[in-house]
């Protein structure tokens, strides 16, 4: 087919990549249902995809990846800035010219025997002033179909590229050329030592090779939406953050918009789709993972969800933990590395019930029985589901203007020390709170050695596309720009324990904490001053209907100055790695906090 665009820059780039990768054919994608159905039918025919039970799971499919290709590969992910110092201590750096030379060698002929798909997509509602237009070139039909769900794939993007003469180029290959007559495997990919996920921030360029999985291959996700976008945002004066966005509406109809950042395994998706237990208050989901935010004409910060779908972790998603996520993947969904049951439905561990029929096919595509004790779904197995299919998706989730953010929330997983909730005295202290967000290491983090806390600034550690010290400074700069219209900042910890018992019920009852935040924004309640920030006055955070003993509530709200001083020492040790790039205001906040704790 002839190219459906007149943009010479795009045509030249496509020709250059085609000459390097030598595909058998080139297809320009249009994002249509016909295209999706055709590609899925081809993958079912080849054995790459399993068509699920149409009555139980309409228009849904399951895939099993190669065991070597099951998650993001951070140690093969690079920020190839021109200067090494611009990548900073949180990123892997390689000289961009050296990396390009290596990857060009891998790309040479890598699409032989395959189809090269050209995907025009928008991150954010098409035409939004906060959105960005991009092109992904890939040789994976699995990537195309996932991008259909996760982004807006449409020829309208080509029209915008022609008008603006700008797009973000994203190149991907599974790195598995086929010789003539060679039969393809179910999940083509390259060995781990040949996998590269490379970002060139000065060129807004992404090159990915060797992996077909998730954020390694769906280049609109972490690669563009966070790593490249954060670098663009730093230059252009906006924000690209690893944050959920939700709307919380009170009984009178007043809307509050909350953006929240948590490290992994701290309940971000659950909070995004919360079922409120506060009478008359309603939560609606705008996004569960990423927020792009830009100051509006009124000086407030407006946010869009740049994605169009959820790429959710399946294990642990259940009717009890997140019924709305489960409902979102009841149809039109792609499942990767879950169990396919005997009646061609899906199942995973901690789904809330035993596997129907007692078994099926596991994520390695082998016969499996639950009674044998081996896990059937990979711990990082996923569902790709359309946000539009979530029952609590906000009616304005695709508003191109975005929604005005009232509140930022940070948090981590701490079994002690950190209270249930506290509010920053001002935005600058809020930046400090976000920059020192931390969790206690789990058994899964054995590489951390003997540390008491794992710091994850703004939940962005693997996703900051430039020096993390400059990124922290950008937060302070945005605060200055927004002035008194900056969102209020809060820190939460749902995870305090007494022995093995959680002190706070969590899940839907977290809405009680959100209500207190909204009451604070409206000026309906005062707060008590503590060394770490502003905290609820007893009675202002509603506990009606909860059975929380007085001594547990006291522990949830306690500020232990000595314990917090230890946390300050941990923070100092962590922040030292940023050297002279650490913003002066971070040191000021450290000193102020230390002085208040010692007073």
Structure token pair of residue 540: 């202002």
Asked if residues 60 and 335 have their Cβ atoms less than 8 Å apart, the reply is: yes
Query: How big is the CA angle at 86 (ends 203 and 449), to the nearest 5 degrees?
Result: 125
Asked if residues 431 and 458 have their Cβ atoms less than 8 Å apart, the reply is: no
Asked if residues 231 and 465 have their Cβ atoms less than 8 Å apart, the reply is: yes
Tokens 């909730």 found at: 421
- Known catalytic residue at 394: no
Q: Is 427 exposed, middle or buried (0-12, 13-18, 19+ CB in 10 A)?
A: buried
- The span from the first CA to the last CA of the chain, in angstroms, equals 74
**Which of 29, 170, 223, 266 does the annotation list as catalytic?**
266
211 Cβ neighbours under 8 A, 6+ residues apart: 69, 73, 174, 175, 189, 190, 195, 197, 217
Distance CA 491, CA 421 (A): 6
If you write DSSP's letter for every residue of 112-133 in order, what string do you get?
A: TTSEEEEEEEEESSTT-TT-EE
Which 8-state DSSP code applies to residue 507? G
| CA proximity to 513, closest of 265, 267, 292 | 267
- Neighbouring CB atoms inside 10 A of 3's CB total 14
The continuous run of DSSP H or E covering 138 comes out as strand 132-138
Kind of pairing, strands 407-411 and 488-492?
parallel
- Neighbouring CB atoms inside 10 A of 580's CB total 6
Kind of pairing, strands 454-455 and 501-502?
unpaired
Q: Crossing angle, helix 468-482 and helix 229-236, to 10 degrees?
A: 50
Active site residues per annotation:
266
């Amino acid at each position: 087919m002839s190219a459906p665009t007149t943009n010479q820059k795009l045509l030249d780039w496509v020709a250059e990549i085609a000459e390097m990768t030598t595909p058998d054919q080139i297809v320009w994608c249009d994002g249509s249902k016909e295209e999706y159905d055709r590609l899925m039918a081809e993958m079912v025919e080849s054995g790459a995809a399993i068509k699920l039970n149409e009555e139980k799971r309409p228009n849904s499919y399951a895939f099993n990846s190669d065991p070597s290709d099951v998650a993001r590969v951070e140690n093969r992910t690079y920020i190839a800035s021109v200067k090494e110092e611009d990548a900073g201590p949180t990123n892997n750096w390689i000289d961009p010219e050296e990396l390009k030379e290596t990857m060009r060698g891998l790309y040479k002929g890598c699409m032989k025997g395959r189809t090269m798909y050209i995907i025009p997509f928008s991150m954010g509602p098409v035409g939004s002033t906060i959105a960005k237009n991009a092109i992904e070139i890939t040789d994976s039909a699995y990537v195309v179909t996932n991008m259909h769900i996760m982004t807006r794939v449409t020829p309208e993007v080509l029209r915008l590229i022609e008008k603006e003469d700008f797009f973000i180029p994203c190149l991907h290959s599974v790195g598995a050329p086929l010789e003539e007559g060679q039969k393809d495997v179910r999940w083509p990919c390259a060995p781990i030592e040949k996998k590269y996920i490379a970002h060139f921030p000065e060129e807004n360029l992404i090159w990915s090779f060797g992996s077909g999985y998730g954020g390694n291959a769906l280049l609109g996700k972490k690669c563009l939406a966070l790593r490249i976008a954060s670098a663009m945002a730093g230059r252009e004066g906006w924000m690209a953050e690893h944050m959920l966005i939700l709307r919380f509406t009170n009984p009178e109809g007043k809307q509050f918009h909350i953006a929240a950042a948590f490290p992994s395994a701290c309940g971000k998706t659950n909070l995004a789709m919360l079922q409120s237990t506060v009478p008359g208050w309603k939560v609606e989901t705008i996004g569960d993972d990423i927020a792009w935010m830009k100051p509006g004409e009124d000086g407030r910060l407006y946010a869009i969800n740049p994605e169009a779908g959820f790429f959710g972790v399946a294990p642990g998603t259940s009717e009890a933990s997140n019924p709305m996520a489960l409902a979102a993947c009841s149809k039109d969904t792609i499942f990767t590395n879950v169990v396919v049951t005997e009646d061609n439905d899906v199942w995973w561990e901690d789904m809330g019930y035993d596997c129907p029929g007692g078994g099926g096919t596991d994520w390695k595509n082998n016969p499996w029985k639950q009674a044998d004790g081996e896990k059937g779904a990979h711990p990082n197995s996923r569902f790709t589901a359309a946000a539009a299919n979530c029952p609590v998706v906000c009616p304005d989730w695709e508003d191109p203007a975005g929604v005005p953010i009232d509140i930022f929330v940070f948090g981590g997983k701490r079994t002690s020390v950190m209270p249930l909730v506290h509010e920053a005295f001002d935005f600058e202290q809020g930046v400090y709170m976000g920059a020192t967000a931390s969790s206690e290491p789990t058994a899964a983090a054995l590489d951390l050695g003997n540390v008491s806390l794992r710091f994850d600034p703004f939940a962005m550690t693997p996703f900051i596309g430039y020096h993390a010290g400059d990124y922290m400074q950008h937060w302070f700069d945005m605060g200055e720009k927004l002035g008194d219209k900056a969102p209020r900042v809060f820190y939460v910890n749902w995870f305090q324990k007494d022995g093995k018992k959680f002190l706070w019920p969590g899940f839907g009852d977290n809405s009680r904490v959100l209500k207190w935040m909204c009451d604070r924004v409206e000026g309906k309640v005062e707060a008590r001053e503590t060394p770490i920030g502003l905290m609820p006055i007893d009675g202002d955070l509603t506990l009606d209907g909860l059975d929380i003993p007085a001594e547990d509530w006291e522990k949830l709200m306690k500020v232990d100055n000595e314990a917090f001083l230890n946390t300050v020492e941990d923070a100092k040790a962590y922040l030292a790695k940023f050297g002279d790039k650490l913003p002066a205001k971070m040191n000021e906040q450290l000193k102020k906090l230390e002085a208040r704790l010692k007073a």
